[in-house]
Amino acid sequence: MLELKDISFEVSEEADSKEKEIIKDLSLTLDDGKFIVITGPNGGGKSTLARIIAGIYAPTSGEIYFDGVDITDKSITERARMGIGYGFQQPVRFKGITVQDLICLAAGKKLSVSEACAYLSEVGLCAKDYIDREVNGSLSGGELKRVEIATVLAKGSKLSIFDEPEAGIDLWSFQNLIQVFEKMQESNHQGSILIISHQERILNIADEIIVIADGKIVKKGEKEEILPSLISTESVANVCDKYNVGGKM
């Protein structure tokens, strides 16, 4: 279980040297075994919150607990070792490192070709076509995203975080990505999944939806309760105005 208590995050604005609050005294509990999607308007604090959970950013104030352990001051590496995996919006490319190398690094041990291939198959890639490929510019955005998900599977994360996984990929790749997430949601063998997205198809496979705007949680509940209110009369991007929580950041 992940628990955030009174989390705030501020950054300095160079123009006037003032602090700008991105996350505002936010408290949240994420239960185990859930597929959760955080959505809301651009600039509302979604990706910032994901990075705070992963350990990329340190909160200005507040506490974070994972399985009852205070991880507020732990690094991204320490959190990864505890079982928190993070998929970047734009996955990193590694010249000279093969797909098999990357999967073995994620697993933390040497894997046979067949074992590494099994993870690629889970994300819909033909293993024999990818296992020896370099993780570089020869891979498309969609291929790279699926390789990254394969590394998260190999890591066996208790909490897998994906920041706008649909960013920068074509429609065909997005459709394949949805199938991967549907499979993860159905099998639920990778613990909790947390996705930052405003794509309706991703929202539609969630167990729970959390709406964040202006650095605050404005709505949280099961998909059946939250999704109809988001798509009935307006887009998710306008939810900030709907809940009267101020402008975009």
Average pLDDT over residues 93-120: 88
pLDDT of residue 179: 82
Give the three-class secondary structure for 183: helix
Alpha-carbon gap, residue 48 to 24, rounded angstroms? 12
Average pLDDT over residues 140-161: 85
Helix pair 141-155, 171-187: axis angle to 10 deg: 20
More confident residue, 127 or 9: 9
pLDDT of residue 244: 44
Structure confidence by residue, pLDDT tens digits, 173-221: 778 778 878 877 776 555 789 999 988 889 999 999 999 999 999 999 9
pLDDT of residue 226: 93
**131 and 120 in contact (C-beta within 8 Å)?**
yes
What are the start-end ranges of the E strands in 89-191?
94-98, 134-135, 159-163
Reply yes or no on whether the pLDDT at 101 is more than 70. yes
Comparing 12-26, 27-41, 73-87, 115-129, the range with the smallest average pLDDT is 12-26
Reply yes or no on whether the pLDDT at 238 is more than 70. no
pLDDT of residue 233: 47
Helix pair 141-155, 113-122: axis angle to 10 deg: 120
